[in-house]
Chain A
Amino acid sequence: MKFKVNGHEVFASTGGRPFDKKKPLIIFVHGSGLTHMTWVLQTRYFAFHGYNALAIDLPGHGLSSGESLKSIEEMADWVNDVIDAVGHKEASLVGHSQGCLVTVECTSKYPDKIKTLSLMGGAGAIPMNPELLSLAENNDPKAVDLMMDWAHGPAGHFGGHPVPGLYHINTGTMLAKSRTIQNTLGVDFRACDNYKNGFEAAKKIKCPTLSILATDDKMCPVKEGKKLASLIDGSQVDIIDNCGHMMLLEEADRVLTVLKKFITTNYPPLSS
């Protein structure tokens, strides 16, 4: 669906169901340079089971207009604006990678609005490799290729997608190259690199929180994810073996099972 936030058109996938204001809202926030498509194996389930599942394209990404936001703090405020724009008073947030920084910041800043927080491949800080950052800012497609290499675990490099016939790495590459790299990935990487408030923000979070981490995640290693989770009261941690940073695609079923249990328990759906 399309709606406006701060004068710019925003696209969000609703998981194949019409948006219904009566249903509780879950917002899915994608990672650096990516789009709502990364959530396809999670959103449809929630959309068909009593939720409004909104997988958003951040400004300047995917099908959303406007320019990419330059800081994690701006993105966090923007997610809060999305909740208002779709006419809800509260939401459950799900983030991947950079989306974790955004949702952690948003949850700490708007504690009354955010009811649960689910982090996938998250960390309190995501400092960027300077060369990778430079490649992305200079619009070099090698930045995407490197990101896709590092983001997939050894098993993920072979493929074996849960949806028959889909090849992970090429699909991710195509998503990340769908808009001008320097305007999406370049801006996002710089925003991640600049963001220093993750650990402080985490300490303020009081809502139920889940961290899904993966043993072969090179971009946000388990150690970093656990460090972040340890700062959030009562945070649950689930670790997936033989999986890399793109867990929501590499181990989509496992992620959905864990997410489903966590969200339905802590933020129940509208019963039919």
Chain B
Amino acid sequence: MSDKKKELKPNTYKFDTLSLHAGYQPHKNAGSRQVPIYQTTSYLFDDVDHAAALFNLERGGHIYSRISNPTVGVLEERVASLEGGTAALATSSGMSAIFLTVMTLCEAGDHLVVSSQLYGGTVNLFRLTLPKFGIKCTFVKPRDTEGFKKAIQKNTKGIFGELVGNPGNEIMNMPEIAKIAHDAGIPLMVDATYQTPYLCKPFEHGADIVIHSLTKWMAGHGSSMAGILVEGGKFDWMQNDKFPTMTKPYEGYHGLSFAEEFGPTAFTMKARAEGMRDFGPCLSPQNAWNVLQGIETLSVRMKKHCENAEEMVKYLSNHDSVAWVSHPSAPNHPDAELANKLLPNGKGSMIAFGIKGGKDAGVAFINNVKLASHLANVGDTRTLVIHPASGTHSQMDEATLKFAGLSHDMIRLSVGIEDIDDIKNDFEIGFRAARKPRLVSNQ
């Protein structure tokens, strides 16, 4: 027998186990192995004292499903556990998660520094809608790390970006930008929809708030809209006087200071107590349950997504009909080194490529592929394609398109988990049509 002393190791559950179990205890739910769908609007109070305590955040529990719901709560804890966060708040969509995050952080007169490479809807929120609430934004190209620093003003309350920009695949230097944010006493908010926590946990690289459209890879099945904001718990809201709504007594809850009372979960508590109460973009329990089904297989799917994506990068890079390919796994990607650091488990399944022949060729390709679906979504288990200049980013003018790094020949590809040969064969049909766009009729 060896007398070697056994090293102590924490036995907290690992990623794959948390994907299946976190946030749920069957013995508290009639032994139901599957998470029950609590299809209810409201919850019985034990007595008047209990009701008052719940409304006053004196004890945990549910009041009304706009604010919280047990099924949605399981999803929130599950994603918080996978991200390494302290708390999470699920919303009806990724966009509502971004909006709620901004409205929890900012007031009229505030300013944000924002990456210019974002999903088109997010660009419009920051560029056109938030100014209506008195919140202004300065856009900075994601690779211009120094630009983020220069754009910070006295009234700047945070930096926002997508880790891998949509749709150009530029990678934001998250650790450096986090340092810039923290030196300025403001949080870094990262939309990590493309990565999921399987590929990257932004909190480990300095992010303070992580946002997901759960509709995409997290769910995978393309059946349900959902979003979430997750809190890292490290940001000190009391370090300066920039965040009075977090640190000063809040009239809406008898003078509660969220930062003092809830510390590492203060942001989520405020987003729920104030944001869900006043804006109400709640997630339905059915959709929360649907997303939970997807998360159960997240790591299995993400591995296959990434394998297929890397195969497609090789295939496209060597194809005569392709002018250029952008994916962080490509050796010539300008951010390849940063990608290896931030995305060690895989570089994701979003590929942007330019088709020879420009816009007409792009349209012909899109109209003729059969297996790949032409639609406005990403992160489905099925392969998806779109032509951003005429689709997701079509509301932008020429100058904005250019600033967002888009070109008319660009096709955005979300690689699914089908057999790789079938995807390639389908693309051959599209490329054949693209080579003679005028000879192939549109569908």
Q: Which 4 A-B pairs have the closest CB atoms?
A: A162-B60, A163-B60, A164-B68, A165-B76
CB of B80 within 8 A of CB of A158, answer no
With A167-B85, A170-B84 in contact, do A253 and B233 touch (Cβ < 8 Å)?
no
A237 at the A/B interface (Cβ < 8 Å)? no
Report chain A residues within 8 Å CB of B205.
none
Report chain A residues within 8 Å CB of B25.
155, 158-160
B154 at the A/B interface (Cβ < 8 Å)? no
A156 CB → nearest B CB, Å: 9
Report chain B residues within 8 Å CB of A155.
25, 27
CB of A45 within 8 A of CB of B272, answer no
B331 at the A/B interface (Cβ < 8 Å)? no
A264 CB → nearest B CB, Å: 11
Q: Which residues 258-287 of B have a CB within 8 angstroms of A?
A: 260-265, 268-269, 272
Interface of A is mostly: helix
Q: How far is the CA of A146 from the CA of B11 in the complex (A)?
A: 8
CB of B84 within 8 A of CB of A165, answer no
Q: Which residues 117-163 of A have a CB within 8 angstroms of B?
A: 129, 131-132, 135, 142, 145-146, 148-149, 155, 157-163
Report chain B residues within 8 Å CB of A157.
12-13
Q: How far is the CA of A155 from the CA of B72 in the complex (A)?
A: 19
A116 at the A/B interface (Cβ < 8 Å)? no
Query: Can you list 14 A-B pairs with a CB-CB distance of less than 8 A?
Result: A13-B260, A41-B58, A41-B59, A41-B60, A142-B10, A157-B13, A158-B22, A159-B78, A162-B60, A165-B68, A166-B86, A171-B264, A175-B264, A253-B61
Which residue on B lies nearest to A167, using beta carbons? B80
CB of B57 within 8 A of CB of A44, answer yes
A268 at the A/B interface (Cβ < 8 Å)? no
CB of B24 within 8 A of CB of A252, answer no
CB of A16 within 8 A of CB of B253, answer yes
Q: How far is the CA of A122 from the CA of B241 in the complex (A)?
A: 39
B254 CB → nearest A CB, Å: 6
Q: How far is the CA of A212 from the CA of B234 in the complex (A)?
A: 31
Chain B interface residues toward A at CB < 8 A: 8-13, 21-25, 27-28, 52-53, 56-62, 68-70, 72-74, 76-78, 80-81, 84-90, 232-234, 238, 253-257, 260-265, 268-269, 272
With A159-B23, A170-B84 in contact, do A48 and B234 touch (Cβ < 8 Å)?
no
Q: How far is the CA of A248 from the CA of B87 in the complex (A)?
A: 17
A18 at the A/B interface (Cβ < 8 Å)? yes
CB of B24 within 8 A of CB of A148, answer no
CB of B264 within 8 A of CB of A159, answer no
A32 at the A/B interface (Cβ < 8 Å)? no
Which residue on A lies nearest to B82, using beta carbons? A167
Report chain A residues within 8 Å CB of B232.
174
Which residue on A lies nearest to B49, using beta carbons? A49
Q: How far is the CA of A35 from the CA of B262 in the complex (A)?
A: 11
A240 CB → nearest B CB, Å: 13
Report chain B residues within 8 Å CB of A35.
263
Q: How far is the CA of A40 from the CA of B258 in the complex (A)?
A: 11
B212 CB → nearest A CB, Å: 14
Chain A interface residues toward B at CB < 8 A: 13, 15-18, 35, 37, 40-41, 44-45, 48, 63, 129, 131-132, 135, 142, 145-146, 148-149, 155, 157-167, 169-171, 174-175, 178, 242, 252-253, 256
With A158-B21, A170-B85 in contact, do A131 and B256 touch (Cβ < 8 Å)?
no
A148 CB → nearest B CB, Å: 7
Q: How far is the CA of A163 from the CA of B89 in the complex (A)?
A: 11
Q: How far is the CA of A45 from the CA of B76 in the complex (A)?
A: 25
A258 CB → nearest B CB, Å: 13
A104 CB → nearest B CB, Å: 27
With A174-B234, A175-B264 in contact, do A166 and B12 touch (Cβ < 8 Å)?
no
B82 CB → nearest A CB, Å: 9
Which residue on B lies nearest to A170, using beta carbons? B86
CB of B58 within 8 A of CB of A45, answer yes
B291 CB → nearest A CB, Å: 14
Q: How far is the CA of A127 from the CA of B85 in the complex (A)?
A: 31
CB of A164 within 8 A of CB of B72, answer yes
Having A158-B23, A165-B88, one finds 11 other A-B pairs with CB under 8 Å, namely A13-B260, A41-B59, A45-B53, A146-B8, A155-B27, A164-B70, A164-B72, A165-B68, A167-B23, A167-B88, A170-B233
CB of B62 within 8 A of CB of A17, answer no
Q: How far is the CA of A175 from the CA of B233 in the complex (A)?
A: 9
Which residue on A lies nearest to B86, using beta carbons? A171
Q: How far is the CA of A245 from the CA of B70 in the complex (A)?
A: 24
Q: How far is the CA of A134 from the CA of B253 in the complex (A)?
A: 43
B60 CB → nearest A CB, Å: 3
Report chain A residues within 8 Å CB of B253.
16
Interface centre among A41, A162, A174, A256 (most CB of B within 10 A): A174
CB of B87 within 8 A of CB of A166, answer yes
CB of A252 within 8 A of CB of B233, answer no
Report chain B residues within 8 Å CB of A253.
59-61
CB of A167 within 8 A of CB of B22, answer yes
CB of A45 within 8 A of CB of B86, answer no
Point out the residue from B27, B77, B268 that lies within 8 Å of A159, measured CB to CB.
Answer: B77
Report chain A residues within 8 Å CB of B76.
164-165
With A16-B255, A174-B234, A253-B60 in contact, do A159 and B24 touch (Cβ < 8 Å)?
yes
A127 CB → nearest B CB, Å: 15
A251 CB → nearest B CB, Å: 10
With A40-B262, A171-B265 in contact, do A160 and B60 touch (Cβ < 8 Å)?
no
Which residue on B lies nearest to A35, using beta carbons? B263
Q: How far is the CA of A256 from the CA of B77 in the complex (A)?
A: 22
CB of B10 within 8 A of CB of A158, answer no
Report chain A residues within 8 Å CB of B238.
63
CB of A165 within 8 A of CB of B59, answer no
With A131-B8, A242-B27 in contact, do A16 and B254 touch (Cβ < 8 Å)?
yes
